[in-house]
């Protein structure tokens, strides 16, 4: 589905409705990382991120029935994928009990939900214990919905999936966003649809096929598009340059040519990295070679943008009113090829522009460089933010009540 419009992010939130005395089905993203050996939660970030909405709902006198998926169970109860450790952790953060249901829509969940009082919190078991969750089965969604009076969605990272607990339940309940989802919509939505100009998009990463949708959409919206990462080399090949053994998706060359033409037609400044740091193999070599990006010698591959490209890109970033960034400029996991991504991250952090970073690798890079506090918004949903920037309608957002 596309194309989202200016008001596709303008949705009602939990503060726009009355929740006092109501039972609220709250979709969280509790898909936390765990230690494979011990099962202990290794990063509580997603649980902490859910607290503002939960605490608000408690204060408003709602009874909260939280739910989430967790990992990839095969269907049916599986202790390895139980949300019980999340309930314990959530309870510690809230300083109040969180009642853990033994099932999702079974007798235990129904009984707990039925008896739940205003201000109390319970957590359903992993929604993926039912295969119907990912199939967005209407009967399953209806049973989930029947426990509550209102649906609050706070799982942006799952909003691009039409699952029963992200979209299906909205057919049976008035549905609004929680604070976490609202922050994502406000920040990404404003950056794309109502940006302070110039809007500079920085796109990188390995696969051009993953990013063509975003590039096409941003050509209609951005003033400048900076392209780095492995995907830049398909552009150089499309322009007739030599790229040695650099990453290239030959099947995308026609699409890339179309993008270049489209950018020119729309008057968008689409910039490729004029130089690259190269190596003879995909390895962290001690002395990377800087060469022109369209003239990479045979047997070499470009693994980062070069120093001249950094200067060019940083100049655009410094003049930006709004910046959106998705994908690293090089193989930043190798210290010898991290400079491009580091320099861009610093330029984004130092700029006075509104800065929005899609999840995934660029978010990881910004955190690795300790710059997260200097970014306006780092998305919690890699896939979801990419689809939003592609102009797609996200089913978990489209289903919410319009503001
Ligand atoms: P993506 O998931 O498409 O955003 O790609 C992220 C990955 O792209 C990171 O793991 C980087 O190491 C990788 N990457 C970035 N630049 C290059 C490059 N020039 N050659 C190979 N891989 C790259």
How much is the pLDDT for 382? 86
Q: CA-CA distances (angstroms) from residue 78 to 129, 150, 335?
A: 8, 29, 40
- Ligand 1: does its nearest atom lie under 6 Å from the Cβ of 208? no
Q: pLDDT under 70 in the chain at which residues? A: 1-7
Global pTM reads 0.91
Kindly give the distance from the C-alpha atom of residue 332 to the centroid of ligand 1, in angstroms, as a whole number.
8
- Ligand 1: does its nearest atom lie under 6 Å from the Cβ of 205? yes
How much is the pLDDT for 19? 98
How much is the pLDDT for 240? 96
Structure-token pair, residue 252: 């995308």
- Contact call for residues 277 and 306 (beta carbons, < 8 A): yes
How much is the pLDDT for 1? 41
Q: Give the pLDDT confidence of 67-116 residue by residue, as tens digits.
A: 999 999 998 999 999 999 999 999 999 999 999 999 999 999 999 999 99
Kindly give the distance from the C-alpha atom of residue 216 to the centroid of ligand 1, in angstroms, as a whole number.
20
How much is the pLDDT for 7? 54
Return the closest-CA partner of residue 45 out of 363, 372, 380: 380
CA angle at 369 for the pair 35 and 42, rounded to the nearest 5°: 10
Q: Give the pLDDT confidence of 221-272 residue by residue, as tens digits.
A: 999 999 999 999 999 999 999 999 999 999 999 999 999 999 999 999 999 9
Nearest CA to ligand 1 atom 18: 230
Q: How many residues does the chain have?
A: 403
Which stretches of 48-97 are assigned E, i.e. beta strand?
63-67
Q: CA-CA distances (angstroms) from residue 370 to 185, 358, 366, 367, 376?
A: 25, 16, 6, 5, 14
Assess whether 383 carries a catalytic annotation.
yes
Assess whether 251 carries a catalytic annotation.
no
Kindly give the number of the ligand 1 atom that is closest to the alpha carbon of 331: 12
Strand order in the sheet with 354-357: 269-271, 224-227, 199-203, 322-326, 354-357, 377-378
């Amino acid at each position: 589905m596309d194309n989202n419009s200016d008001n596709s992010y303008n949705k009602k939130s939990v503060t726009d409705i009355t929740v006092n005395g109501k039972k609220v089905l709250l979709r969280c993203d509790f898909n936390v990382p765990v230690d494979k050996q011990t099962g202990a939660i290794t990063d509580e970030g997603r649980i902490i991120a859910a607290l503002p909405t939960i605490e608000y709902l408690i204060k408003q006198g709602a009874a909260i029935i939280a739910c989430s998926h967790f990992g990839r169970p095969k269907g049916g109860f599986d202790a390895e994928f139980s949300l019980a450790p999340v309930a314990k952790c959530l309870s510690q953060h809230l300083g109040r009990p969180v009642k853990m249901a033994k099932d999702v829509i079974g007798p235990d969940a129904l009984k707990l939900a039925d008896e739940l009082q205003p201000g109390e919190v319970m957590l359903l078991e992993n929604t993926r214990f039912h295969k119907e969750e990912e199939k967005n089965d209407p009967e399953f969604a209806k049973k989930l919905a029947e426990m509550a009076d209102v649906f609050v969605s706070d799982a942006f990272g799952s909003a691009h999936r039409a699952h029963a607990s992200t979209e299906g339940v909205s057919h049976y309940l008035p549905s609004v966003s929680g604070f976490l989802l609202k922050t994502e919509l406000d920040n990404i939505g404003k950056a794309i649809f109502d940006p302070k100009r110039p809007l500079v998009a920085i796109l990188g990463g390995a696969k051009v096929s993953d990013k063509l949708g975003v590039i096409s959409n941003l050509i209609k919206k951005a003033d400048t598009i900076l392209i780095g990462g492995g995907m830049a080399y398909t552009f150089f090949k499309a322009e007739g340059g030599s790229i040695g053994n650099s990453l290239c998706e030959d099947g995308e060359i026609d699409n890339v040519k179309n993008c270049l033409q489209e950018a020119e037609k729309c008057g968008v400044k689409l910039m490729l990295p004029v130089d690259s740091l190269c190596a003879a193999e995909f390895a962290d070599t001690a002395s990377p070679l800087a060469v022109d990006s369209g003239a990479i010698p045979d047997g070499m591959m470009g693994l980062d943008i070069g120093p001249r490209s950094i200067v060019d890109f940083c100049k655009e970033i410094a003049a930006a009113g709004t910046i959106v960034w998705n994908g690293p400029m090089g193989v930043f996991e190798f210290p010898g090829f991290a400079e491009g991504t580091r320099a861009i991250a610093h330029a984004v952090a130092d700029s006075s522009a509104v800065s929005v970073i899609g999840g995934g690798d660029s978010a990881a890079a910004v955190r690795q460089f300790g710059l997260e506090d200097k970014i306006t918004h780092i998305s919690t949903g890699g896939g979801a933010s990419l689809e939003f920037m592609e102009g797609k309608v996200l089913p978990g957002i489209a289903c919410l009540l319009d503001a």
